A = this chain, B = another copy of it.
Amino acid sequence: QDAHLARNLAATCANCHGTNGQARGDMRPLAGLPADRIMAAMADYKRGALPATIMHQIAKGYTDEQIRLVAGYFAAQPARP
A residues adjacent to B (C-beta < 8 A): 12, 15-16, 53-54, 56-62
11 A-B Cβ contacts within 8 A?
A12-B53, A12-B54, A12-B56, A15-B54, A54-B54, A54-B58, A57-B62, A59-B61, A60-B61, A60-B62, A61-B61
Q: Which of A16, A54, A58, A59 has the most CB of B within 10 A?
A: A54
Q: How many copies does the complex hold?
A: 2
- Contact residues in B for A12 (Cβ distance below 8 Å): 53-54, 56-57
Determine the distance from Cα of A59 to Cα of B61 in the docked complex, in whole angstroms: 7
Question: A59: shortest Cβ distance to chain B, in Å?
Answer: 7
Determine the distance from Cα of A76 to Cα of B15 in the docked complex, in whole angstroms: 30
